[in-house]
Amino acid sequence: MSSLKCTTATGVYLHGNLSRASPKERHVGQLAVLLKMLRKASADVVVVGAGVAGCSAFYHLARLNARNPGFKPLLVDALPPLSLTSANGSFSYRNWFPSEAETPMRELVVHSIDEMDDICQQTNNALGLNRNGYLFVTRDAGKMEELKHLAKNLERHGGGELRVHEPNDKLSGYRHSTEEMQYDLDGSDLLVGIDNVAAAFPNLKDSDALAALHVRRCGSLNPVKVANYELNKAVEYCPKAEVLQGKVTDFSAIGGNVSGVKVAMHNGETLEVATPNVVFATGPLFERTLDMLKQRDLSSYDVPIINELHCRAIVNDVDHILPPTMPLTFDSDPMGKLEISEEERTEMMADPSAARLLKEYPGGVHVRPYNGDKMMAVWTYDIEPVPAHYPVEDVLDRRFPEVCVRGLSRIFPQVKSYLTRPEVRDSFYVSGGYYCKTLDNLPLIGPAPSTIGGVFLQSAMTGVGLMSSGASGHLLATHVMGERLEGCGLANHVDAFLPSRFEDQAYVDFLSDGGAAACGQV
């Protein structure tokens, strides 16, 4: 980055032998070293954190200033983009937020899906989007009625028509997922009866399913492609836009407004960046970043934050149980105890690492095809709040892939063989990251209250970081630039995401007492 190069005329001494120089020359040379170690730069906005939220903020700030060639957003992270939570999700998206309480979250994500669709239609699907859907499988009549009710709610809220396929209608009007992106898929299809379920998804023929709800405006995407598109496009919009790998270590303020940040570079140098605006998009490190301001009496903002460790399992799908067009498929029924033989149980009772396998499990294990010949499984059975610990590998349960495969065997009995085949077990891999959440499970997007001016938050993105990133980055950029969203459903719910809502102690007490269930999780 040429703008960050040291231009001191005495730079010759940085690589020369100072012991042979005169005292005056040594003094000048030492001064040059100090000058090299402390560089200065400036930016109109510094975005701290290069996960999906930070990349989107960077992109949207550049997009809103595309007609201002001098505008400079700077994206800073100690790690390469998408290195923490963003690299360890299921990479899925959905408009499946069917309840009234989820309206703000639904509008946020739908705004993102609209943006992703627009980009992909213009770029031959540069984001790697598919519309395979979400599939909720049940063996229970009561659960089928509950899914039907939720799908009708989604329809009432603009999420598309519910189409019920009774056992004798031979799936009339049902559209199968294809590898070609189908942008117009919307609503949901309730497949009633095992014959209908198996006709649509032959790999579920032995699931004993009574019904399956296929929600259509859902699927997965490639976060690396999303970030690459956003970072490249940002520079196209604003040629001065830069991405910098370094750790933010301090903030400065003048006259009640942020005035700069210090960045520790990997080569030992310190970069001072003058800026009137800073965005916190630091994921599970949000509290640590905010504490840097508090230590300098630049903020007194307190917001209750919860970090949950969420894991995913990657397994080689050697039998190709999941075709490329398979939806993200959920077992919606309660699980209870896993299916374990007496011989296995005896072995597990003697192995402390296997103790969790012998306990009760909730429903909700889900799986989708991944990278052509693998399956990715997720099961949020243990989401007690924990401190964010890094490296996260230290706290991951190495038995997690086995737990997921055992759980999936209820709806996919054919995966049972994967538990005993060495070529599959050797592929078992677990990774994870932290969902950073507020008590109402809604992100913090907007100016930081009780803080010096010029500090903005795009934080606590909970489990919708990737799927909502387009809208959250857009909303954040409008706050920074003093603009307003107009002409979209999200415009009516901007206040729902304002960080200032947690300045209302009555609201915090209401949430702390269980007054609002966490919305937006599946």
Same domain, 409 and 443: no
Number of other residues whose CB lies within 10 A of the CB of residue 133: 24
List all residues 6 or more positions away from 77 whose beta carbon is below 8 Å from its beta carbon: 48, 49, 50, 51, 54, 83, 244, 245, 246
Same domain, 267 and 336: no
pLDDT digits 0-9 by tens, 131-179: 999 999 999 999 999 999 999 999 999 999 999 999 999 899 999 999 9
Rounded Cα distance, 331 and 79, in Å: 36
pTM of the model: 0.91
Q: What is the pLDDT of residue 1?
A: 36
H or E stretch at 436: strand 429-437
103-122 vs 469-481: helix axis angle to the nearest 10?
100
367-376: average pLDDT = 97
Same domain, 60 and 155: no
Q: Give the CATH number of the domain where residue 316 resides.
A: 3.30.9.10
Q: Is residue 119 part of a domain?
A: no
Q: Which two tokens stand for residue 390?
A: 């890094």
Residue 35: domain span: 2-39
Rounded Cα distance, 217 and 129, in Å: 11
pLDDT digits 0-9 by tens, 205-217: 999 999 999 999 9
Rounded Cα distance, 452 and 40, in Å: 22
pLDDT at residue 101 is higher than 50: yes
Same domain, 293 and 403: no
pLDDT digits 0-9 by tens, 44-88: 999 999 999 999 999 999 999 999 989 999 999 999 999 888 888
pLDDT at residue 6 is higher than 60: no
Same domain, 428 and 340: yes
Q: Is residue 294 part of a domain?
A: yes
Same domain, 425 and 331: yes
Decide which of 399, 414, 432 is a domain's last residue: 432
**Strand partners for 265:** 246
First vs last C-alpha separation in the chain: 43
Q: Give the CATH number of the domain where residue 471 resides.
A: 3.50.50.60
Decide which of 400, 432, 464 is a domain's last residue: 432
Q: Is residue 92 part of a domain?
A: no
pLDDT at residue 12 is higher than 80: no
The rounded mean pLDDT for the chain is: 92
Same domain, 196 and 334: yes
Task: Identify each DSSP E strand in 43-91 by its residue range.
Answer: 45-48, 73-77
Same domain, 316 and 197: yes
Under 8 Å between Cβ of 189 and 163: yes
Using only the alpha carbons of the chain, give its radius of gyration: 26
Parallel, antiparallel, or unpaired for β 429-437 and 444-447?
A: unpaired
Q: Is 148 helix (H, G, I), strand (E, B) or coil?
A: helix
pLDDT digits 0-9 by tens, 323-340: 999 999 999 999 999 999
Decide which of 432, 449, 482 is a domain's last residue: 432
Under 8 Å between Cβ of 401 and 377: yes
35-48: average pLDDT = 84
Rounded Cα distance, 449 and 502, in Å: 9
Q: Is residue 506 part of a domain?
A: yes
Same domain, 386 and 375: yes
Same domain, 266 and 386: no
Q: Is residue 64 part of a domain?
A: yes
Under 8 Å between Cβ of 130 and 221: yes
Query: What is the domain count for the chain?
Result: 3
Q: Is residue 62 part of a domain?
A: yes
Give just the sign of the alpha carbon dihedral 114, 116, 120, 125.
negative
What residue type is assigned to position 478 of the chain?
Answer: T
Q: Is residue 289 part of a domain?
A: yes
Rounded Cα distance, 90 and 507, in Å: 32
Q: What is the pLDDT of residue 13?
A: 25
Q: What is the pLDDT of residue 23?
A: 52
Q: Is residue 117 part of a domain?
A: no
Q: Which two tokens stand for residue 327?
A: 């939806």
Q: Which two tokens stand for residue 232?
A: 């490249």
Q: Furthest-apart CA pair in the chain: how many Å?
A: 97
